[in-house]
């Protein structure tokens, strides 16, 4: 149920199924199974296959034959088992592979780093449309008969839109880094070095979860930021949303993934006393004693512009949330029961850890050479917007864990407002930089030339309903009602 292309098109499937020889279960393995005849495309005996029906959106995955498949006593030859690692001999004997199980994680890391890169891509499309339209669209605030205010100049529009713009950049940079991480872990796996695998797994699982959830919400927010017209298919946003949201569910449900990250965090905390030093993205936990006590030094709003101040606040928040969870887990007689009971807190601790990774990779990006005059300055502004808007959104975490005071939180908010004013003049340049063609964006509202309203009008006339001036069904349905009403009214 669900595999794409299965319902009507595919002739063969790769089926994961339990291997049982001589009554003994050897776990799940892969098998190539022919589904349909290569002569007439009819399903082979014992095989029932079909489409699972309509899905979200008017287009989206509805052009894909996601399928349902049922086997009834289907036999396949032994050599259609994928035997690269484990084998079944001609005599029916199962040969366990000595290839380390961890190798399968390599593919998962690959797929998930790809999903993070895709998140940035989808998010930047939505942000590009909403930003361009927010400049074109004017509403209220006309003085002396002059033009109304461009909606992008409203602080409420800026505070919703610019953090999403900043996120699109943040996800792109962390995605680039993740690509490097995949290469690194692949080389290590080939050399049978599994030492970084748990951290890499937690990191990619967490980033997949956080970036896809944020992107799905952001596309819908961008749609709302375009007002009523965002609801039109010609805005491109409904389709983008319907196509994108499955990313929150496929390749690991986002909440389940956060709990995997949390398990890694709890393991790291429990080993802190053991002398095993945390590495990579979890290295900060090695300084947890210091992080549990530190107090943010911000006294004025502009102090929040310093990357090291922001980094410390995010590290302190993440470390304290993990340590608190670990402490609370100890109150349960049974660790598994504790993990089940505290699952929501653990997921929140995982989000804090992952947001810290994104923040720290953005900082690392800013420490590199960045070509183009003034580009680095713009990215610094976006970095501050990204970090401080997260801080505002999760203020409860930061204040509750004691690393920042409510007063410092208010100063961050004040700084954020100033930052929005700095993003504003370059907002269009920052979305033009994604370099999307009008064809690719597929949005009347997000047109590069800003010529939105005439094109919106033009687009409407292309609708098949407009091919006739008097609609189909007028004579059959509308006219009889109208004539009847008129007769009644004249009685």
Residues 391 to 430: which contact a second copy by CB under 8 A? 392, 394-402, 406, 409-410, 413, 417
Q: What is the helix (H) or strand (E) element at residue 95, kind and residue range? A: strand 94-95
Which one of 49-57, 91-99, 275-283, 311-319 is the stretch in contact with a second copy (CB under 8 A)? 49-57
Among 69, 126, 170, 259, binds a second copy (CB under 8 A): 259
**Position 446 contacts a second copy (CB under 8 A):** no
Q: Are 431 and 128 in contact (CB under 8 A)?
A: yes
Q: Locate tokens 């529009």: which residue?
A: 157
**Position 9 contacts a second copy (CB under 8 A):** yes
Among 155, 276, 295, 306, binds a second copy (CB under 8 A): 155
At a CB cut-off of 8 Å and minimum separation 6, what does 425 contact?
none
Among 6, 13, 35, 65, binds a second copy (CB under 8 A): 65
**Position 366 contacts a second copy (CB under 8 A):** no
251 is catalytic: yes
Give me the catalytic one of 176, 251, 414, 459. Answer: 251
**Position 250 contacts a second copy (CB under 8 A):** yes
Which one of 268-276, 279-287, 371-379, 479-487 is the stretch in contact with a second copy (CB under 8 A)? 479-487
Task: In whole angstroms, give the CA distance from residue 463 to residue 459.
Answer: 7
Using CB under 8 A, which residues numbered 85 to 114 contact a second copy?
A: none
- 47-51 vs 24-34, strand pairing mode: unpaired
Among 23, 53, 77, 146, binds a second copy (CB under 8 A): 53
**Position 242 contacts a second copy (CB under 8 A):** yes
CB of residue 58 to a second copy, shortest distance in Å:
5
Among 21, 102, 249, 290, binds a second copy (CB under 8 A): 249
Q: Are 161 and 132 in contact (CB under 8 A)?
A: no
Measured from the CB atom, the residue of 115 and 347 that comes closer to a second copy is 347
Q: Are 262 and 345 in contact (CB under 8 A)?
A: no
**Position 142 contacts a second copy (CB under 8 A):** no
Would you mind telling me the total number of residues written for the chain in this entry? 491
* Structure token pair of residue 127: 């942000």
Q: Locate tokens 């890499």: which residue?
A: 200
Task: In whole angstroms, give the CA distance from residue 118 to residue 384.
Answer: 23
Task: In whole angstroms, give the CA distance from residue 98 to residue 92.
Answer: 19
Helices (H), 89-145: 104-136
Among 94, 110, 154, 194, binds a second copy (CB under 8 A): 154
**Position 377 contacts a second copy (CB under 8 A):** no
**Position 8 contacts a second copy (CB under 8 A):** yes
**Position 196 contacts a second copy (CB under 8 A):** no
Burial of residue 277, with CB atoms counted within 10 A of its CB: 0-12 exposed, 13-18 middle, 19 or more buried: exposed
**Position 231 contacts a second copy (CB under 8 A):** yes
Task: In whole angstroms, give the CA distance from residue 228 to residue 295.
Answer: 46
Q: What are the residue numbers of the active site?
A: 251
């Amino acid at each position: 149920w669900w595999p794409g292309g299965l319902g009507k098109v595919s002739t063969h499937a790769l089926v994961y199924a339990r291997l049982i020889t001589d009554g003994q279960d050897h776990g799940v393995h892969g098998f190539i199974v022919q589904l349909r005849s290569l002569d007439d495309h009819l399903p082979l005996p014992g095989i029932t296959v079909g489409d699972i029906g309509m899905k979200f959106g008017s287009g989206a995955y509805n052009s894909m034959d996601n399928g349902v498949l049922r086997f009834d006593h289907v036999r396949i030859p032994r050599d259609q088992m994928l035997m690269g690692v484990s084998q079944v001999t001609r005599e029916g004997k199962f040969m366990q592979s000595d290839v380390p199980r961890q190798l399968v994680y390599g593919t998962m890391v690959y797929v998930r780093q790809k999903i993070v890169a895709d998140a940035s891509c989808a998010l930047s499309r939505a942000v590009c449309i909403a930003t361009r339209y927010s400049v074109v669209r004017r509403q209220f605030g006309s003085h002396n008969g002059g033009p109304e205010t461009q909606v992008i100049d409203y602080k409420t529009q800026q505070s919703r839109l610019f953090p999403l713009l900043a996120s699109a950049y943040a996800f792109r940079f962390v995605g680039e880094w993740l690509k490097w991480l995949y290469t690194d872990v692949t080389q290590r796996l080939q050399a049978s070095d599994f030492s970084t695998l748990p951290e890499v797994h937690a990191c990619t699982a967490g980033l997949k979860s956080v970036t896809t959830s944020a992107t799905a919400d952001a596309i819908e927010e961008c749609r709302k930021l375009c007002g009523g017209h965002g609801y039109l298919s010609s805005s491109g946003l409904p389709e983008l949303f319907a196509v994108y949201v499955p990313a929150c569910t496929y390749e690991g449900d986002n909440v389940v993934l956060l709990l995997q990250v949390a398990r890694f965090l709890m393991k790291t905390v429990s080993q802190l006393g053991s002398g095993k030093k945390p590495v990579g993205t979890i290295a900060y936990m090695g300084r947890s004693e210091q992080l549990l006590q530190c107090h943010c030094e911000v006294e004025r709003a502009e102090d929040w512009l310093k990357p090291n101040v922001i980094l410390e606040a995010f590290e302190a928040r993440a470390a304290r949330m993990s340590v608190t969870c670990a402490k609370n887990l100890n109150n349960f007689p049974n660790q598994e029961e504790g993990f089940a009971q505290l699952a929501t807190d653990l997921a929140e601790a995982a989000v804090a850890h992952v947001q810290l990774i994104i923040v720290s990779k953005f900082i690392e990006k800013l420490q590199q050479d960045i070509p183009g005059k003034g580009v680095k300055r713009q990215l610094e502004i976006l970095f501050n917007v990204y970090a401080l808007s997260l801080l505002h959104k999760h203020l409860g975490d930061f204040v509750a864990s004691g690393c920042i005071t409510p007063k410092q939180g208010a100063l961050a908010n004040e700084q954020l407002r100033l930052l929005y004013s700095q993003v504003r003049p370059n907002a269009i340049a920052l979305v033009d930089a994604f370099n999307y063609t009008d064809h690719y964006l597929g949005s009347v509202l997000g047109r590069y030339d800003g010529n939105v309203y005439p094109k919106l009008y033009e687009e409407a006339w292309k609708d098949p309903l407009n091919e006739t001036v008097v609609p189909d069904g007028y004579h059959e349905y509308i006219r009889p009602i109208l004539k009847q009403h008129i007769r009644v009214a004249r009685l």
